[in-house]
Chain A
Amino acid sequence: MENKGYLSIVLHAHLPYVRHPEYDDFIEERWLFEAITETYLPLIEMFKRLREEGVKFRLTMSVTPTLINMLRDSLLQDRYIKHLDKLIELAEKEIQRNKDDLKLSRLSKMYLDAFRRSKDIFLNRYNKNILNAFKEYQNAGFLELITCGATHGFMPLMIDREAIKAQIKVGVDTYKEAFGRDPKGIWLPECGYKPGVDDILKEAGIRYFLVDTHGVLFAEPRPRYGVYSSYFCASGVAVFGRDVESSKSVWSAAEGYPGDSYYRDFYRDVGFDLDYDYVKSYINSDGSRGNTGMKYYRITGETLQKELYDPNKAKEKAAEHAGNFMFNREKQVEYLSTFMDRKPIIVAPYDAELFGHWWFEGPIFLEFLIKKIHYDQNNIKLVTPTDYLGEYSKNQVLKPSFSSWGYKGYSEFWLNGSNDWVYRHLHKAAGRMKVIAAENVEAAGLKKRALNQMARELLLAQSSDWAFIIKTATHVEYAQKRIKEHIFRFNRLYEEVKSDTIEEIYLEVLERRDNVFPNIDFKIYLESKAEVRT
């Protein structure tokens, strides 16, 4: 029997560039380490199991340029192994501590196994560079990797066309370096789109991007198939809209699956629960209590009296939720296909780190889902946006609406009283970069290095993560510091280039510290012919 519609799951793997060689240990580098252990490696293991079992699947995944740069960085790779070794040591101690409690010691063992397995895969199978895993599964036809803005800069709040162009261009180049081919799609940072961005995508050779639901629903003219089809912008670049239902069942804390009482509680970590001296060397390096990754309790309910986590029960739940998710998608396509004259596509985009890091059982959920789709039904088929475009090459042409997938659907989360001060600096720097690049097209040697470094500093300052973090009030001081540092470094280099007084030692320090995008060429900031359309 032929399928009635398609499901496209898109995982967005992203972390801002955090790498501090000037410190022995840096708290925010843990963002990456936790994501590797809890999300990226479990996903890679899942790919492997599915392939070995002969389950065909198609997933789309963005690995952002900053993440690519961190995953291939030898300092961070070695620090990750050190981090894992500490975790293995802690888990061993935990087994000892819990030896009289069978249930607890089993949980400790579960973590020990996971940490050891992580080390084995990371070190032995992929020689510290897990980008090779993603590449391998893309080449084998299971994954479609897409790119993203260089540093996840939020494009709707950029003024200069060149600033947007540089984000996209560096995104494309980094992708090529890492995966050895051209990216077909892009995840616009925060799904932030404004009219005109697609023209720049076109120039960069990108074939499609994703927007939030209202980006398509409020498009001009009216979209024929809601969010359940691909469309073309006038530029010829395709656009897909996010499906609300499938999104909410995973994202929503209240109604979504991850809030189930049998799932593991994210916040109850031994880093907080155990005697301070005992956990001291496994928590934050500044001595503050923090996550270790070892968590023994389940969500239980709105109570502080948490019950012990039961992995088998949680696994059952994940299977059940996967069944439910599939059932709902089947119903969706069945209904849609009664009045659509083409097969609908349901696009379900998520942060990759939601699976595993936030929702511990997320990767097993995905695995169950993929298997169920493979074995249990014929209504839906997993595809990537490229696959869908292969089937439907004729699409309605429309102009998507300015939109983002953030709070209230536009730019408010990145532009409000807490973080609006950053834009005058970002705009100024982008304006300066554009002009100074044009003035120094022929630059060579030291000057060229300085200009390239300016491009890095500007891009790093533009990460939407800083404004996001400032708004959510988690690591505010760090985020503010990052913006200020990159702007400061940019401006200092700017003055030095202007006055021809480049201080090589300073430049070298910056090149070592902010070593992202080693092959960047400042000429990406040169004006291209087309004017920005807004």
Chain B
Amino acid sequence: MTKDLIKLKRIELLEIAKKKKIKGFSKFKKAELIKVLSKEEAVKSKTKIKIKQKLEKNKTAEKKVPKKKNIKVLSRRKKSIKDKKIKDIDFSQELVESTKFYTGGADPHKEFDSKRLLEESPNIGHHYGENVCVLLARDPWCVFSYWEVSITLWEGARLKCKDSKYREILRVYDVTGLESKNLNSCNSYFDIELTPFIESWYINLKESGRSYIAEVGLKTDKGEFYAIIRSNVAVTPRYGPSDLVDEEWMVVEEDYWKMFALSGGYGTSISSEELQKVLKKKRLETISSSAKAIPGEKR
């Protein structure tokens, strides 16, 4: 079957593909058409293995990054570059890296605890009896905060609230570009209502490339906020190209995007407009989890 297909011209193959209602066939190269068509045939015939070997040969004739995988993948690959690249965010590198630590079962320690007599892990607890609040930038869209606050400090804040009802709040200040440590002059802030007894939180952000400070405190139903503890400054990276252009190493807009496309493996055929759309889309994928704030581990 494959042999017969090889003899045909691309146009003829296209016609067959059309008849067989194969998706997206019009952009396929000859070898790809042969692959798709012979696969179709192979499902019916028993010569599957032979054809497969033939296909391997076709692939090499093509002098391209070898493609294995089935028709589905192939047709997905042939969609626009943009779609392909966006799907690239996956764990493949982590999967490969994790094989360094692979010795067999899923978790040898778990499964074979009874046989493997390991010393018990010491208990290190969660607290150091101190007052601390730390803010860590995780990525352009997320900062993580953990804290430890003594009962005395909580009580002090509760007293300030007097008879008003209050809630535990994590207040996040945008302090980008701020010189002073006075939070009254911050650019903006927002509040996250905390689940009681929680001592860490993932804070999702709308804008990248900003600086933040967080405060844990109590907020009354009248709107007064009594801070208990303040964090360090966390700086998130800017997502996307810089607005600054170096005079000495001038790069015009168009050239920048050309280099960008090449550096990012987007090839040479993608325009700067398209590329910026890709970045935007990719950004959605890079965004950490849901749009809501996620509590950290409960203690």
A234: interface (CB < 8 Å) = no
Q: A354-B96, A425-B124 in contact; A289/B68 too (CB < 8 A)?
A: no
A320 touching B121 by the CB < 8 A rule?
no
CA distance A251 to B65 in the complex (A): 13
B223: interface (CB < 8 Å) = no
CB-CB under 8 A from A484, the residues of chain B are 121-124
Other-chain contact of B102, A287, A291, A488 (Cβ < 8 Å):
A291
CA distance A335 to B139 in the complex (A): 33
CB-CB under 8 A from A220, the residues of chain B are 238, 242, 244
B102 touching A224 by the CB < 8 A rule?
no
B291: interface (CB < 8 Å) = no
- Report A222 CB to chain B, min CB distance, Å: 5
A428 touching B128 by the CB < 8 A rule?
yes
A485: interface (CB < 8 Å) = yes
Q: A286-B108, A290-B105 in contact; A410/B138 too (CB < 8 A)?
A: yes
Other-chain contact of B249, A27, A216, A301, A396 (Cβ < 8 Å):
A396
B263 touching A228 by the CB < 8 A rule?
yes
CA distance A251 to B92 in the complex (A): 7
A204: interface (CB < 8 Å) = no
CA distance A10 to B200 in the complex (A): 38
Nearest neighbor of A156 in chain B, beta-carbon distance? B137
Other-chain contact of B262, A228, A258, A301 (Cβ < 8 Å):
A228
Among residues 119 to 140 in chain B, which have CB atoms less than 8 Å away from a CB atom of chain A?
119, 121-124, 126, 128, 134, 136-140
- Report B281 CB to chain A, min CB distance, Å: 14
Q: A218-B239, A288-B104 in contact; A351/B138 too (CB < 8 A)?
A: no
CA distance A402 to B244 in the complex (A): 17
- Report B181 CB to chain A, min CB distance, Å: 15
In the complex, which range does the number of interface residues on chain B fall in? 35 or more
Of B66, B245, B263, most buried by chain A (CB within 10 Å of CB) is B263
Q: A354-B96, A488-B124 in contact; A287/B115 too (CB < 8 A)?
A: yes
B122 touching A534 by the CB < 8 A rule?
no
B94 touching A413 by the CB < 8 A rule?
yes
B66 touching A222 by the CB < 8 A rule?
no
Other-chain contact of A420, B91, B265, B296 (Cβ < 8 Å):
B296
A97: interface (CB < 8 Å) = no
B297: interface (CB < 8 Å) = yes
A213 touching B264 by the CB < 8 A rule?
yes
B106 touching A423 by the CB < 8 A rule?
no
In the complex, which range does the number of interface residues on chain A fall in? 35 or more
B262 touching A226 by the CB < 8 A rule?
yes
- Report A435 CB to chain B, min CB distance, Å: 13
Other-chain contact of B146, A339, A424, A476 (Cβ < 8 Å):
A424
Other-chain contact of A409, B56, B91, B139 (Cβ < 8 Å):
B139
B242 touching A222 by the CB < 8 A rule?
yes
A interface list, Cβ under 8 A from B = 15, 22, 27-28, 30-31, 35, 156-157, 159, 194-195, 213, 216-228, 241, 243-245, 247-249, 251-262, 266, 271-272, 283-291, 301-302, 320-321, 324, 327-328, 332, 335-336, 339, 351, 353-354, 357-358, 396-398, 401-403, 405-413, 415, 417, 420-421, 423-425, 427-428, 465, 468-469, 472-478, 480-481, 484-485, 487-488, 491, 534
Known: A248-B265, A251-B93. 10 other contacts (CB 8 A): A245-B265, A253-B95, A254-B73, A284-B112, A407-B93, A415-B144, A465-B101, A468-B97, A478-B109, A488-B122
Q: Could you list 27 examples of A-B contacts with CB < 8 Å? A: A159-B134, A159-B232, A218-B238, A222-B245, A224-B259, A243-B265, A245-B265, A248-B88, A252-B92, A253-B95, A284-B103, A284-B105, A285-B116, A288-B104, A288-B111, A289-B105, A324-B64, A328-B65, A339-B258, A397-B246, A402-B236, A403-B237, A408-B288, A423-B146, A424-B148, A428-B128, A477-B107
